[in-house]
């Protein structure tokens, strides 16, 4: 399962229409349908009931939608935290020192 499966599923669930979801995602509608079927096969549950040209979420689909949104939010939060850590905005700094450094260097270095 890949993150794009979550994005594709969420778009289809919000639009309740594969064509509109495909336009929103900027992919071809048949490709979206294939990805949704692969996702359903992988999780062994039907996420949508297909009725004519329309689709509706099944109970499994409603449960999965909530979890898919949480998963993508967690991923976005993880990316943001990693970027902050890479920029030195968050994280831990360990400094080894001796007695004189504590009295002479730290009072000028730490505030800076």
Give the Cβ contact number of residue 68 at 10 Å. Answer: 21
Rounded percentage of the chain residues whose pLDDT exceeds 90: 70
The pLDDT assigned to 96 comes to 75
pLDDT exceeds 80 at position 100: no
Q: Which domains does the chain have, with CATH numbers?
A: 3-86 (1.10.10.10)
pLDDT of 37 over the 80 cut: yes
10 near 32, Cβ under 8 Å?
no
pLDDT at 38: 96
Q: What would the mean pLDDT of 24-51 be, rounded to a whole number?
A: 96
| Assigned token pair, 43 | 């999780």
- The tokens describing 89, both together, are 């905005």
Split at pLDDT 50, 70, 90, the class of 106 is confident
Q: What is the pTM of this model?
A: 0.77
């Amino acid at each position: 399962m890949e993150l794009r499966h979550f994005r594709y599923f969420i778009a289809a669930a919000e639009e309740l229409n594969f064509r509109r979801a495909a336009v929103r995602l900027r992919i071809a509608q048949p490709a979206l349908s294939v990805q949704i079927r692969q996702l359903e096969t992988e999780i062994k549950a039907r996420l949508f009931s297909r009725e004519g040209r329309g689709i509706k979420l099944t109970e499994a689909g409603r449960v999965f939608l909530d979890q898919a949104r949480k998963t993508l939010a967690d991923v976005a939060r993880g990316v943001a935290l990693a970027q902050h850590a890479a920029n030195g905005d968050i994280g831990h700094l360990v400094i080894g020192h001796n007695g004189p450094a504590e009295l002479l260097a730290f009072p000028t270095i730490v505030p800076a």
